Protein backbone atom coordinates (compact mmCIF):
# COMPACT_ATOMS: atom_id res chain seq x y z
CA UNK A 1 0.00 0.00 0.00
CA UNK A 2 1.34 3.50 -0.80
CA UNK A 3 2.61 5.57 2.11
CA UNK A 4 -0.25 8.08 1.76
CA UNK A 5 -2.80 5.26 2.02
CA UNK A 6 -1.13 3.93 5.16
CA UNK A 7 -1.37 7.39 6.67
CA UNK A 8 -5.08 7.46 5.78
CA UNK A 9 -5.57 4.21 7.72
CA UNK A 10 -3.69 5.63 10.71
CA UNK A 11 -5.72 8.83 10.73
CA UNK A 12 -9.00 6.94 10.44
CA UNK A 13 -7.88 5.10 13.56
CA UNK A 14 -7.11 8.45 15.20
CA UNK A 15 -10.52 9.94 14.40
CA UNK A 16 -12.41 6.84 15.46
CA UNK A 17 -10.67 6.69 18.82
CA UNK A 18 -11.17 10.43 19.29
CA UNK A 19 -14.89 9.78 18.97
CA UNK A 20 -14.81 6.75 21.27
CA UNK A 21 -12.97 8.46 24.09
CA UNK A 22 -14.70 11.80 23.68
CA UNK A 23 -17.98 10.08 24.51
CA UNK A 24 -16.80 7.38 26.89
CA UNK A 25 -15.19 9.39 29.70
CA UNK A 26 -18.29 11.25 30.77
CA UNK A 27 -20.93 8.57 30.16
CA UNK A 28 -20.67 7.37 33.81
CA UNK A 29 -21.01 10.96 35.01
CA UNK A 30 -23.99 11.59 32.71
CA UNK A 31 -25.63 8.36 33.90
CA UNK A 32 -25.06 9.40 37.51
CA UNK A 33 -26.66 12.78 36.83
CA UNK A 34 -29.68 10.93 35.40
CA UNK A 35 -30.06 9.13 38.70
CA UNK A 36 -28.19 5.89 37.99
CA UNK A 37 -26.77 3.89 40.88
CA UNK A 38 -23.22 2.50 40.62
CA UNK A 39 -24.70 -0.81 39.43
CA UNK A 40 -26.84 0.91 36.78
CA UNK A 41 -23.76 2.78 35.56
CA UNK A 42 -22.28 -0.69 35.09
CA UNK A 43 -25.32 -1.72 33.06
CA UNK A 44 -24.74 1.22 30.71
CA UNK A 45 -21.23 -0.04 30.05
CA UNK A 46 -22.52 -3.57 29.51
CA UNK A 47 -25.05 -2.48 26.88
CA UNK A 48 -22.23 -0.86 24.92
CA UNK A 49 -19.80 -3.74 25.38
CA UNK A 50 -22.33 -6.47 24.58
CA UNK A 51 -23.33 -4.95 21.25
CA UNK A 52 -19.66 -4.33 20.43
CA UNK A 53 -18.79 -7.97 21.20
CA UNK A 54 -21.39 -9.56 18.92
CA UNK A 55 -20.82 -7.12 16.09
CA UNK A 56 -17.01 -7.44 16.08
CA UNK A 57 -17.01 -11.25 15.95
CA UNK A 58 -19.47 -11.35 13.06
CA UNK A 59 -17.88 -8.53 11.06
CA UNK A 60 -14.29 -9.68 11.54
CA UNK A 61 -15.14 -13.22 10.45
CA UNK A 62 -17.17 -12.13 7.44
CA UNK A 63 -14.44 -9.70 6.33
CA UNK A 64 -12.11 -12.68 5.81
CA UNK A 65 -14.57 -13.85 3.15
CA UNK A 66 -16.05 -10.70 1.68
CA UNK A 67 -13.24 -8.16 1.94
CA UNK A 68 -12.37 -5.44 4.42
CA UNK A 69 -13.38 -2.07 3.02
CA UNK A 70 -17.14 -2.62 2.87
CA UNK A 71 -17.23 -3.39 6.59
CA UNK A 72 -14.95 -0.50 7.49
CA UNK A 73 -16.98 2.03 5.52
CA UNK A 74 -20.36 0.71 6.66
CA UNK A 75 -19.21 0.71 10.29
CA UNK A 76 -17.86 4.24 10.16
CA UNK A 77 -21.04 5.54 8.56
CA UNK A 78 -23.14 3.86 11.26
CA UNK A 79 -20.82 5.27 13.94
CA UNK A 80 -21.48 8.83 12.83
CA UNK A 81 -25.23 8.24 13.23
CA UNK A 82 -24.93 6.33 16.52
CA UNK A 83 -22.72 8.90 18.24
CA UNK A 84 -24.98 11.74 17.12
CA UNK A 85 -28.01 9.88 18.51
CA UNK A 86 -26.51 10.16 22.01
CA UNK A 87 -27.63 13.79 22.02
CA UNK A 88 -31.23 12.52 22.03
CA UNK A 89 -30.79 10.49 25.22
CA UNK A 90 -32.71 12.11 28.09
CA UNK A 91 -33.12 9.15 30.47
CA UNK A 92 -31.27 5.99 31.41
CA UNK A 93 -33.19 3.77 28.98
CA UNK A 94 -32.51 5.91 25.93
CA UNK A 95 -28.89 6.40 27.00
CA UNK A 96 -28.41 2.61 27.23
CA UNK A 97 -30.01 2.18 23.79
CA UNK A 98 -27.80 4.77 22.11
CA UNK A 99 -24.68 3.29 23.76
CA UNK A 100 -25.66 -0.15 22.45
CA UNK A 101 -26.03 1.32 18.95
CA UNK A 102 -22.59 2.90 19.24
CA UNK A 103 -21.09 -0.42 20.30
CA UNK A 104 -22.71 -2.26 17.39
CA UNK A 105 -21.43 0.28 14.85
CA UNK A 106 -17.91 0.24 16.29
CA UNK A 107 -17.82 -3.56 16.12
CA UNK A 108 -18.47 -3.44 12.39
CA UNK A 109 -15.52 -1.12 11.80
CA UNK A 110 -12.77 -1.74 14.33
CA UNK A 111 -11.88 -5.44 14.05
CA UNK A 112 -11.78 -5.19 10.26
CA UNK A 113 -9.73 -1.98 10.38
CA UNK A 114 -7.00 -3.70 12.44
CA UNK A 115 -6.71 -6.58 9.95
CA UNK A 116 -6.79 -4.14 7.01
CA UNK A 117 -3.99 -2.06 8.55
CA UNK A 118 -1.77 -5.10 9.16
CA UNK A 119 -2.29 -6.52 5.67
CA UNK A 120 -1.62 -3.10 4.14
CA UNK A 121 1.87 -2.96 5.64
CA UNK A 122 1.16 -0.54 8.47
CA UNK A 123 3.60 -0.48 11.37
CA UNK A 124 1.27 -1.82 14.09
CA UNK A 125 3.02 0.17 16.79
CA UNK A 126 2.54 3.40 14.87
CA UNK A 127 -1.01 2.42 13.94
CA UNK A 128 -1.83 1.75 17.61
CA UNK A 129 -0.19 4.99 18.70
CA UNK A 130 -2.55 6.93 16.43
CA UNK A 131 -5.42 5.32 18.33
CA UNK A 132 -3.90 6.52 21.58
CA UNK A 133 -3.39 9.96 20.05
CA UNK A 134 -7.12 9.94 19.34
CA UNK A 135 -7.78 9.04 22.97
CA UNK A 136 -5.68 12.05 24.04
CA UNK A 137 -7.54 14.40 21.74
CA UNK A 138 -10.89 13.01 22.87
CA UNK A 139 -9.96 13.34 26.53
CA UNK A 140 -8.72 16.90 26.17
CA UNK A 141 -11.68 17.92 24.01
CA UNK A 142 -14.06 16.52 26.62
CA UNK A 143 -12.22 18.32 29.42
CA UNK A 144 -12.42 21.57 27.46
CA UNK A 145 -16.01 21.31 26.21
CA UNK A 146 -17.55 19.98 29.46
CA UNK A 147 -20.92 19.81 27.75
CA UNK A 148 -22.40 16.44 26.89
CA UNK A 149 -24.21 17.44 23.71
CA UNK A 150 -21.16 19.22 22.32
CA UNK A 151 -18.96 16.23 23.12
CA UNK A 152 -21.36 13.86 21.36
CA UNK A 153 -21.62 16.18 18.34
CA UNK A 154 -17.84 16.37 17.98
CA UNK A 155 -17.62 12.56 18.27
CA UNK A 156 -20.16 12.17 15.47
CA UNK A 157 -18.26 14.63 13.26
CA UNK A 158 -15.04 12.68 13.80
CA UNK A 159 -16.75 9.47 12.68
CA UNK A 160 -18.14 11.23 9.62
CA UNK A 161 -14.65 12.50 8.73
CA UNK A 162 -13.22 8.99 9.21
CA UNK A 163 -15.90 7.65 6.85
CA UNK A 164 -14.93 10.20 4.19
CA UNK A 165 -11.25 9.25 4.52
CA UNK A 166 -12.12 5.56 4.19
CA UNK A 167 -13.65 6.21 0.78
CA UNK A 168 -10.08 6.69 -0.48
CA UNK A 169 -8.88 3.32 0.79
CA UNK A 170 -7.57 1.14 -2.06
CA UNK A 171 -9.88 -1.68 -3.08
CA UNK A 172 -8.82 -5.09 -4.25
CA UNK A 173 -10.23 -6.06 -7.66
CA UNK A 174 -13.46 -8.03 -7.43
CA UNK A 175 -11.70 -11.12 -8.84
CA UNK A 176 -9.39 -11.15 -5.78
CA UNK A 177 -12.31 -11.60 -3.40
CA UNK A 178 -13.73 -15.09 -3.36
CA UNK A 179 -17.32 -14.74 -2.28
CA UNK A 180 -17.67 -18.52 -2.19
CA UNK A 181 -14.81 -18.90 0.29
CA UNK A 182 -16.00 -20.40 3.53
CA UNK A 183 -15.65 -18.25 6.60
CA UNK A 184 -12.93 -19.59 8.90
CA UNK A 185 -13.99 -21.76 11.83
CA UNK A 186 -14.13 -19.70 14.99
CA UNK A 187 -13.09 -22.60 17.22
CA UNK A 188 -9.89 -23.25 15.27
CA UNK A 189 -8.86 -19.60 15.25
CA UNK A 190 -9.73 -19.24 18.93
CA UNK A 191 -7.69 -22.31 19.93
CA UNK A 192 -4.69 -21.00 18.02
CA UNK A 193 -4.69 -17.72 19.94
CA UNK A 194 -6.11 -19.01 23.23
CA UNK A 195 -3.14 -18.07 25.49
CA UNK A 196 -3.29 -14.46 24.33
CA UNK A 197 -7.07 -14.23 24.56
CA UNK A 198 -7.03 -15.73 28.07
CA UNK A 199 -4.39 -13.31 29.32
CA UNK A 200 -6.18 -10.33 27.80
CA UNK A 201 -9.53 -11.47 29.17
CA UNK A 202 -8.38 -11.81 32.77
CA UNK A 203 -6.51 -8.51 32.81
CA UNK A 204 -9.10 -6.51 30.92
CA UNK A 205 -12.04 -7.87 32.90
CA UNK A 206 -10.54 -6.25 35.97
CA UNK A 207 -9.64 -3.14 33.99
CA UNK A 208 -13.21 -2.74 32.65
CA UNK A 209 -14.51 -3.02 36.21
CA UNK A 210 -12.15 -0.19 37.20
CA UNK A 211 -12.74 2.11 34.23
CA UNK A 212 -16.51 2.30 34.72
CA UNK A 213 -16.15 3.74 38.23
CA UNK A 214 -12.74 5.44 37.96
CA UNK A 215 -14.11 8.89 36.98
CA UNK A 216 -16.46 8.73 39.96
CA UNK A 217 -13.59 7.57 42.20
CA UNK A 218 -11.40 10.48 41.09
CA UNK A 219 -14.23 12.92 41.79
CA UNK A 220 -14.78 11.32 45.22
CA UNK A 221 -11.13 12.17 46.00
CA UNK A 222 -11.93 15.83 45.41
CA UNK A 223 -10.66 16.19 41.83
CA UNK A 224 -12.56 18.43 39.41
CA UNK A 225 -13.86 17.13 36.07
CA UNK A 226 -11.07 18.98 34.27
CA UNK A 227 -8.41 16.97 36.13
CA UNK A 228 -10.29 13.74 35.45
CA UNK A 229 -9.81 14.44 31.74
CA UNK A 230 -6.16 15.36 32.24
CA UNK A 231 -5.44 12.13 34.14
CA UNK A 232 -7.13 10.13 31.39
CA UNK A 233 -5.16 12.01 28.72
CA UNK A 234 -1.82 11.43 30.48
CA UNK A 235 -2.23 7.67 30.10
CA UNK A 236 -2.85 8.07 26.38
CA UNK A 237 0.02 10.54 25.86
CA UNK A 238 2.44 7.95 27.19
CA UNK A 239 0.93 5.34 24.87
CA UNK A 240 1.52 7.53 21.82
CA UNK A 241 5.25 7.52 22.59
CA UNK A 242 5.72 3.97 23.88
CA UNK A 243 3.67 2.21 21.20
CA UNK A 244 6.06 3.44 18.53
CA UNK A 245 8.89 1.41 20.05
CA UNK A 246 7.50 -1.66 21.82
CA UNK A 247 7.03 -3.57 18.56
CA UNK A 248 10.83 -3.73 18.29
CA UNK A 249 10.99 -6.15 21.23
CA UNK A 250 9.93 -9.75 21.77
CA UNK A 251 6.09 -9.76 21.77
CA UNK A 252 5.81 -12.37 24.52
CA UNK A 253 8.09 -10.42 26.87
CA UNK A 254 6.41 -7.07 26.36
CA UNK A 255 3.03 -8.76 26.76
CA UNK A 256 4.08 -10.19 30.14
CA UNK A 257 5.57 -6.85 31.21
CA UNK A 258 2.27 -5.15 30.44
CA UNK A 259 0.46 -7.60 32.71
CA UNK A 260 2.88 -7.04 35.59
CA UNK A 261 2.68 -3.26 35.34
CA UNK A 262 -1.12 -3.39 35.18
CA UNK A 263 -1.26 -5.32 38.45
CA UNK A 264 0.91 -2.68 40.10
CA UNK A 265 -1.24 0.19 38.81
CA UNK A 266 -4.51 -1.36 40.00
CA UNK A 267 -3.06 -1.92 43.47
CA UNK A 268 -1.76 1.64 43.61
CA UNK A 269 -5.22 3.06 42.83
CA UNK A 270 -6.46 1.60 46.12
CA UNK A 271 -3.99 3.65 48.15
CA UNK A 272 -3.19 6.84 46.20
CA UNK A 273 -5.35 9.86 46.98
CA UNK A 274 -3.50 12.92 45.63
CA UNK A 275 -3.17 14.28 42.12
CA UNK A 276 0.57 13.87 41.52
CA UNK A 277 0.89 10.23 42.64
CA UNK A 278 -2.17 9.43 40.54
CA UNK A 279 -0.49 11.15 37.61
CA UNK A 280 2.55 8.87 38.04
CA UNK A 281 0.25 5.84 38.11
CA UNK A 282 -1.34 6.98 34.84
CA UNK A 283 2.12 7.20 33.23
CA UNK A 284 2.89 3.61 34.24
CA UNK A 285 -0.56 2.57 33.01
CA UNK A 286 0.30 4.03 29.59
CA UNK A 287 3.40 1.83 29.39
CA UNK A 288 1.43 -1.20 30.59
CA UNK A 289 -1.31 -0.95 27.97
CA UNK A 290 1.18 -0.21 25.18
CA UNK A 291 3.00 -3.45 25.96
CA UNK A 292 -0.19 -5.46 26.32
CA UNK A 293 -1.99 -4.18 23.25
CA UNK A 294 0.83 -4.15 20.72
CA UNK A 295 2.24 -7.43 22.04
CA UNK A 296 -1.17 -9.11 21.72
CA UNK A 297 -1.77 -7.77 18.21
CA UNK A 298 1.59 -9.01 16.99
CA UNK A 299 1.06 -12.45 18.53
CA UNK A 300 -2.37 -13.02 16.97
CA UNK A 301 -1.87 -11.31 13.59
CA UNK A 302 1.36 -13.15 12.82
CA UNK A 303 -0.20 -16.53 13.49
CA UNK A 304 -2.18 -17.12 10.28
CA UNK A 305 -4.24 -15.82 7.35
CA UNK A 306 -7.60 -15.51 9.10
CA UNK A 307 -6.65 -12.15 10.54
CA UNK A 308 -10.12 -10.64 10.38
CA UNK A 309 -11.48 -13.49 12.46
CA UNK A 310 -8.54 -13.36 14.89
CA UNK A 311 -8.92 -9.60 15.23
CA UNK A 312 -12.66 -9.99 15.68
CA UNK A 313 -12.14 -12.50 18.50
CA UNK A 314 -9.58 -10.16 20.05
CA UNK A 315 -12.00 -7.24 19.95
CA UNK A 316 -14.79 -9.50 21.21
CA UNK A 317 -12.60 -10.59 24.12
CA UNK A 318 -12.08 -6.96 25.08
CA UNK A 319 -15.78 -6.31 24.76
CA UNK A 320 -16.83 -9.42 26.66
CA UNK A 321 -14.88 -7.74 29.43
CA UNK A 322 -16.77 -4.58 28.52
CA UNK A 323 -20.02 -6.44 29.26
CA UNK A 324 -19.06 -8.26 32.46
CA UNK A 325 -16.50 -5.78 33.82
CA UNK A 326 -18.84 -2.82 34.30
CA UNK A 327 -21.42 -5.06 35.96
CA UNK A 328 -18.80 -6.41 38.35
CA UNK A 329 -17.34 -2.94 38.92
CA UNK A 330 -20.73 -1.44 39.70
CA UNK A 331 -21.75 -4.33 41.95
CA UNK A 332 -18.45 -4.38 43.86
CA UNK A 333 -18.47 -0.60 44.27
CA UNK A 334 -22.04 -0.79 45.55
CA UNK A 335 -21.09 -3.34 48.20
CA UNK A 336 -17.43 -2.77 49.04
CA UNK A 337 -16.61 0.69 47.73
CA UNK A 338 -14.33 1.89 44.96
CA UNK A 339 -11.14 0.50 46.50
CA UNK A 340 -12.63 -2.97 46.50
CA UNK A 341 -12.85 -2.74 42.71
CA UNK A 342 -9.13 -1.89 42.48
CA UNK A 343 -8.10 -4.89 44.57
CA UNK A 344 -10.40 -7.16 42.55
CA UNK A 345 -8.75 -5.98 39.30
CA UNK A 346 -5.26 -6.62 40.66
CA UNK A 347 -6.24 -10.13 41.78
CA UNK A 348 -7.61 -10.95 38.32
CA UNK A 349 -4.40 -9.65 36.75
CA UNK A 350 -2.32 -11.96 38.94
CA UNK A 351 -4.56 -14.93 38.06
CA UNK A 352 -4.37 -14.17 34.33
CA UNK A 353 -0.59 -13.85 34.36
CA UNK A 354 -0.20 -17.10 36.31
CA UNK A 355 -2.52 -19.08 34.04
CA UNK A 356 -1.48 -17.77 30.64
CA UNK A 357 2.20 -16.85 30.70
CA UNK A 358 3.61 -20.38 30.30
CA UNK A 359 1.22 -21.12 27.43
CA UNK A 360 1.95 -17.81 25.74
CA UNK A 361 5.71 -18.43 25.95
CA UNK A 362 5.27 -21.95 24.59
CA UNK A 363 3.11 -20.68 21.73
CA UNK A 364 5.70 -18.05 20.80
CA UNK A 365 8.42 -20.74 20.76
CA UNK A 366 6.30 -22.88 18.45
CA UNK A 367 5.77 -19.93 16.08
CA UNK A 368 9.53 -19.25 15.94
CA UNK A 369 10.39 -22.91 15.34
Average pLDDT over the chain, rounded to an integer: 83
In a domain, 179, yes or no: no
CB contact at 8 A, 31 and 92: yes
In a domain, 74, yes or no: yes
* C-alpha 169, offset from chain centre: 23
CB contact at 8 A, 111 and 59: yes
Q: Distance (Å, rounded) from C-alpha 106 to C-alpha 263? A: 28
Q: Distance (Å, rounded) from C-alpha 266 to C-alpha 275? A: 16
Report the number of distinct structural domains present in the chain.
Answer: 1
Looking at residue 6, its pLDDT comes to 79
Looking at residue 177, its pLDDT comes to 42
Looking at residue 365, its pLDDT comes to 44
Looking at residue 175, its pLDDT comes to 34
* C-alpha 76, offset from chain centre: 16
Three-point CA angle 101, 53, 103, nearest 5°? 20
Looking at residue 173, its pLDDT comes to 35
Question: Which residues contact residue 21 at a Cβ distance below 8 angstroms, ignoring those fewer than 6 apart?
Answer: 134, 135, 137, 138, 139, 142, 232, 236
- DSSP class of residue 174 equals G
Question: Which residues contact residue 142 at a Cβ distance below 8 angstroms, ignoring those fewer than 6 apart?
Answer: 21, 22, 25, 26, 151, 229
CB contact at 8 A, 166 and 76: yes
In a domain, 273, yes or no: yes
Looking at residue 176, its pLDDT comes to 39
Looking at residue 369, its pLDDT comes to 34
- Domain containing 147: what range? 3-168+184-368
In a domain, 173, yes or no: no
Helix extents (H) in 67-185? 69-85, 92-119, 124-145, 148-166
Q: Distance (Å, rounded) from C-alpha 259 to C-alpha 352? A: 8
Q: Phi-psi region for residue 121, left (φ > 0), alpha (ψ -120 to 50) or beta?
A: left
In a domain, 177, yes or no: no
Looking at residue 330, its pLDDT comes to 83
Q: Distance (Å, rounded) from C-alpha 193 to C-alpha 206? A: 21
Looking at residue 149, its pLDDT comes to 87
- Which stretches of the chain score pLDDT less than 70? 1-3, 171-185, 303-305, 356-369
For the chain, the distance separating the N- and C-terminal CA atoms, rounded to the nearest angstrom, is 29
CATH number at residue 199: 1.20.1250.20
Looking at residue 316, its pLDDT comes to 82
pLDDT in tens, 150-170: 989 999 999 999 999 999 887
Q: Distance (Å, rounded) from C-alpha 243 to C-alpha 351? A: 25
- DSSP class of residue 368 equals H
In a domain, 178, yes or no: no
CB contact at 8 A, 284 and 292: no
Q: What's the whole-model pTM score?
A: 0.77
Amino acid sequence: MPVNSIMLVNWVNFLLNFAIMGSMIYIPILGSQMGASDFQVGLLGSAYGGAYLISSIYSGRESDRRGRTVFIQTGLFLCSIAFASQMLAHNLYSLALTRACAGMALGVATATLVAFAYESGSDMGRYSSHGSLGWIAGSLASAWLQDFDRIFAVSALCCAAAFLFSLFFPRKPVRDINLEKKAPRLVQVFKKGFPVYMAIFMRHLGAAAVWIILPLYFISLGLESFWVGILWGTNFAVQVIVMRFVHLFNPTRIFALGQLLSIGVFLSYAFLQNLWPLLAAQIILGVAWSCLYVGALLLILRSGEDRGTASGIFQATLNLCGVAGPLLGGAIAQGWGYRGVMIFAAALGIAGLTLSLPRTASRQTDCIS
